[in-house]
Structure 1
């Protein structure tokens, strides 16, 4: 990645799992960062950001709300790029429209309306999800590799009550259309299941799930597929998507498709004291691997994927450091 000296960029939802790493890497590369959070009065949202190297000199925090049009005007003013990560990540909701879909779609449009007012800002990098890619109405005739040409079908998602998937799918559609109509260049990153060390003091949903896999009892878990990617790789991909003028369209981000049993065997080898040997017995996988996920386009962008063993070890060490897991 090239140096960011003299360049001002905006990161929305900066206290989140991916966004915190994005802010860290941007500061490490010399960028000046305008970071938005929902509340400047919540130390859990801002203290870990203020503690980053370079934050004192080149990090400014802004309070902004996805539901309020114009809320992001101050944060994007003077920026050359916008990294929009802010969006609710919930898999269980009582009111999908109010809790997920509206904040994702209308919130994204509110952010982009602010961006469109800034003459210096030309490229928007949007954090989406593999959830907006993989739920198709029909699979290709020759199933094997999922890539950027796949699009989730909102009808199928609604039938299966996959509300998060709908929110990400509709938000991407709305963002790409708005950007095209308003002279903004958009690039969309689609991470799979994001793992890796956490910077924020609170657990995000994927880290909470990993923690539950490590802590809950000794019973055998049903085996399934995880499409995994390291959070640091996702953050790096965002920066590369801004810095490379030839970056375009969508980028799927999955470093490794792994069975649950594979993950637990790695855990057992690294941390035998956790006592997961019983979980690592071979069994039939409840989810067959219909397809892998292409890494071709994102590797051309310059992404180098972290080995799964490293991601798992760093995840566990991070949970230990925050006293969330005893090993």
Structure 2
């Protein structure tokens, strides 16, 4: 067992899908975790975190909301590392442009405030931001064609409209893109005393400690259970050319790996497979032939875009889960939660 007694890590958005698993792993590794939640009065979210191994001794809970970014100051104090996952909750708007503007302002304002809190703390060495592949589209700026590969040089152009856009998706895309650019600007403008890293995660699946199906995992099985989430999967495919996917354990290990490196900064894409939605459907048909996939949910676009990101592997991070393991694990979770019957 690794010995990290006394080393403090702040995790914002700690009750979410990725956040809860990161807290779990940090506690298992004996870190002291300062975990933030929007509402300490939520018994389910608080109860989950308090039930984790070593939580009684090493977990500290703080209430904080990204719409009030100064809330995070107390949680960050005394920490050596900060892992920032908190994302603005989409609110009800009559006008999508208002939603996009408010969520983007909250996300960018949150990044600025958290970076300033890290600097003022005098203790934080590195800030790791959980970014998204929606900010890393390989589409050309005019939106007419894709580049040959997807890697860390890709940025999503925010002046074009993508197919399958539904309420909230563009607001999320704008907020993740603008907040990540704000974060990485810090690396260029500051003196290097605080290192900042962004991890652009693919669609996460494979397992969960939550009692409900995470949205990203639901996307992976959407051709089986949910047409609405299939539209979200297709939106991501239109943004990224194909669908980058990654197992929850690999995502969390990548965060901790980047945190524990002696020195690191910059942008890293995090996905172990890059599939067309038609390839996901082919997986279900090949390995789970009893599952019926409607023909209208299988769209072979014939794109020849390759996954060009190697930066995580270049610093010796190793993925443990391939596409089959991610998809089959997601299916088992869906079955366990009663979304459809087992095919065994």
Q: TM-score, normalised by structure 1?
A: 0.85
State the Cα distance separating 1:279 from its structure 2 match.
5.3
Partner residue in 1 for 2:190? 181
- 8 Å CA contact 1:66–1:110 kept in 2: the answer is no
Distance 1:319 1:88, change over 3 A: farther
Contact 2:150 2:309 in 1 (8 A): no
Partner of 2:243: 226
Q: Confirm or deny: 8 A CA contact 1:80 1:120 kept in the other structure.
A: yes
* Structure 1 residues 219-254: Cα deviation after superposition (integer angstroms, max 9, x where no partner): x99986322111221111111111112422100112
1:254-283 deviations in Å (ceiling 9; x for gaps):
21111223323333454444x2266599x7
Aligned to 1:27: 27
State the partner residue of 1:307.
322
Distance in 2 (alpha carbons) for counterparts of 1:208 and 1:307: 18
Aligned match for 1:267, one of 265, 284, 295:
284
- Please tell me whether the aligned partners of residues 89 and 164 of structure 1 are also in contact (alpha carbons under 8 angstroms): no
Structure 2 residue corresponding to 1:191, chosen from 197, 201, 207: 201
- State whether structure 2 residue 332 is matched by structure 1 residue 317: yes
- TM-superposed CA distance for 1:58, in Å, is 1.2
Which of 164, 175, 187 is matched with 1:167 structurally? 175
Note if 1:215 corresponds to 2:225.
Answer: yes
| Aligned match of 1:49 | 49
Work out the CA distance in 1 between the residues paired with 2:2 and 2:266.
21
Q: Deviations over 1:105-137 (max 9, x none)?
A: 112222222222211112000111111121541
Distance 2:87 2:55 in 1: 24
1:106 lines up with 2:109 in the alignment: yes
2:308 maps to 294
Pair 1:226–1:293, CA change in 2 (3 A): same
For 1:68-217, what aligned pairs fall within 5 Å after superposition?
68-88=68-88, 94=96, 95-97=98-100, 99-134=102-137, 135-137=139-141, 143-156=147-160, 162-178=170-186, 180-181=189-190, 183-216=193-226
CA distance in 2, matches of 1:257, 1:304: 16
RMSD: 3.4
Distance 1:136 1:78, change over 3 A: farther
Task: Measure how far apart 1:209 and its partner are.
Answer: 2.5
Deviations 1:264-318 (A, max 9, x none): 3333454444x2266599x7613x4242222421112333221111111221222
1:88: how far off? 3.4
Cα offset, 1:138, TM superposition: 5.7
**Which secondary structure does the structure 1 equivalent of 2:70 belong to?**
coil
Gaps of at least 5 residues in structure 2 are none
Q: CA 1:46–1:192 in 2, change beyond 3 Å: closer, same or farther? A: same
Deviation by residue 1:177-198 (Cα, 9 ceiling, x = unmatched): 3464374210110112222212
In structure 1, the residue corresponding to 2:159 is in which secondary structure? helix
